[in-house]
Amino acid sequence: MKYTKDHEWLRVERGLVVVGITEHAATQLGDVVFVELPEIETVIATGDEVVVIESVKAASDILAPVDGEIVAVNEALVDNPGLVNEDPTGAAWFFKVKVDDLSVLEEFMDEDEYNELVG
């Protein structure tokens, strides 16, 4: 897995980049009560607001960590937003992105670097 400074994780599955938020981010948000996912086939650019998350504490946006096209979304989060708190780095992925070049992931932090960031 790779990590962003915005507390997102990225992993490659079958040539696609899967995006979610880290356990640290899920803990900071508190109990997640609502998730709004993007439409499939949406073309995104790095920094675009892609997902809206609302928790008992705050609302937050998930920003696109890479350029590409969204090819799948995790509909389970719409019906059960609490998955974000229960399994943030597994079942609670948000979307999958088709990117032109997977080498863009080399720019992101590895687990050790991320753990150093969050202390």
Q: Delimit the domains of the chain by residue range.
A: 2-100
CA dist list (Å): 57 to 36, 40, 54: 17, 28, 8
pLDDT at position 58: 87
pTM here? 0.94
Q: Dihedrals φ, ψ of 94, to 5°?
A: -100, -50
pLDDT of 87 above 90:
yes
- Cα 77 to the center of its chain, rounded Å: 12
How far apart, in Å, do the first and last CA atoms of the chain sit?
A: 18
CATH topology of domain 2-100: OB fold (Dihydrolipoamide Acetyltransferase, E2P) (2.40.50)
What pLDDT digit, counting tens, does each position of 56-77 carry?
988 999 999 999 999 999 999 9
Q: In which element (H, E) is residue 53 found? A: strand 49-55
pLDDT surpassing 90 at residue 119:
no
